[in-house]
Amino acid sequence: MKIQDLDVAVIGGGIGGLCLAHGLKKAGVPVRVYERDESGTARTQGFRIHIDPDGSRALHQCLPAQLWDVFTATGGLFSQGFSMLTDQLEELLHRAGDDAPPDPIAQHRSISRVTLRALLLAGLEAEVEFGKRFAHFEELPAGRRRAWFDDGTFADANVLVGADGVNSPVRRQYLPQAEPAQTGVVTIAGRLPLTAGILALVPKQLLDGPALVVPPGQSSLFMGLWKRSRESAEVLRRLGGDPSVADEDDHLVFGLAVRADRFGILGDPRSIPGTQLMQIVRRAMKGWHPDLRKLSEMIDEDALVANPLRSSRRISAWQSTPVTLLGDAIHSMTPFQGIGANIALKDAALLCSQLIQAQRGEKELLTAIAEYENSMRTYAFKAVDASLRSMEFAILRKQAPVFQIAKTAMRLVNQVAKLNRLRMAA
């Protein structure tokens, strides 16, 4: 096969889309990214994010060496420990972090979402266009696609990639049957600075890693301590960014998940004012351990953010075309496994590799896209299912008798593990 002329249009400048753009640019494949935001700092990008070994490998593959070094300097190591606690802070399960020497590439890392996006935008100044809201696409002669934007402009390319999130307009036109379903669960998230007073109240298990509080009722609370790397501010200065907006302060992440119908949450919870969200938090945590309730009361209610959780549904394999999707645009998942962004990065690296092979003439373009989609459907929807099961255990299907059985079983597991450690020490 001969070398193919290939250019790619990416709709959406989030983590997955920007990672793909870096990989294609590094390989010499022309790429343009069209982002609806007016700038890279137009909106808050959430709290910190856990990058797992899959995500780290994808970033290493796609980023130029200089930016990979920036990423490793900025992203602090993420503890792999995890705990499950009752609402009275009784320990149900505790898994210590792995002390094995980390792989230099495939590590667990912690990084601010704002910092990661600033890093991914660096070096793509000529490739990213802001203020471009995708309207629809159409087929052109010779298999090319034209993406139209709501300002009347358009962009033509051999490949159109929808990396435009859970509300993807590309997906709505291309695969309308793949619309994610509402789970009936809403998260209310906030954060607290890691002052001495806050640290005195947090469960000791958080020093080993994040924890999930699972009360008998149908709700749960995720907590995690996130600490910046010392190099972050200097790294951001070198990138030309503003460290003051990089979400780099050490903080406690607080994420309460509740059933919407149990708390009278109707419509879009993102429009609920902070004062009302705080009332929901108080109701959900009534009777919980005093330390947990104190922590919740210390959160700035105006900074609380509510989001409805949706989960993608498996659909039959579709006929591959020059239009494809990655990340939340095709496989949105609940946050209960903490892997959504990493799967998007894995998508980006895999699609990048396939498109590079097509550009080099090693395989036909549609074959390359089909191989990406076949692989993506397998690993991504496995992650979607696992994330949904985790949410259902934590909230939707957790009845009191089942909870008590799980509580007793976990205590027995911990006791057996302690006895085994004592025997080994003797």
What confidence score (pLDDT) does residue 17 get? 98
Domain interval for residue 66? 8-409
Here the CATH number for the domain that contains residue 366 is 3.50.50.60
In angstroms, rounded to a whole number, what is the distance separating the alpha carbons of residues 10 and 33? 5
What confidence score (pLDDT) does residue 242 get? 47
What confidence score (pLDDT) does residue 216 get? 84
Q: Is residue 415 part of a domain?
A: no
Q: Is residue 104 part of a domain?
A: yes
The verdict on pTM exceeding 0.85 is yes
What confidence score (pLDDT) does residue 246 get? 46
What confidence score (pLDDT) does residue 44 get? 57
Q: Is residue 418 part of a domain?
A: no
Which token pair is 282? Answer: 């108080």
Pick from 382, 372, 341: which is nearest to 55 by CA?
341
Q: Is residue 281 part of a domain?
A: yes
Q: Is residue 425 part of a domain?
A: no
| Four-CA torsion 69, 70, 72, 77, nearest 10 degrees | 170
Half-sphere exposure for 75 (CA within 13 Å, toward CB): 31
Q: Which residue has the tokens 């060496």?
A: 65
pLDDT tens sequence for the chain (426 residues): 456 689 999 999 999 999 999 999 999 999 999 999 988 766 655 567 889 999 999 999 999 999 998 888 876 655 567 888 999 999 988 777 665 556 788 888 878 788 888 899 999 999 999 999 999 999 998 889 999 999 999 999 999 999 999 999 999 999 999 999 999 999 999 988 888 888 899 998 888 888 999 998 789 999 988 766 555 556 656 665 544 444 456 788 899 999 999 888 988 899 999 999 999 999 999 999 999 999 999 999 998 999 999 999 999 999 999 999 999 999 999 999 889 999 999 999 999 999 999 999 999 999 999 999 999 999 999 999 999 999 988 886 544 444 554 554 555 555 545 555 555 555
Q: Is residue 74 part of a domain?
A: yes
How many domains are there within the chain? Answer: 1
Q: Is residue 1 part of a domain?
A: no
Q: Is residue 255 part of a domain?
A: yes
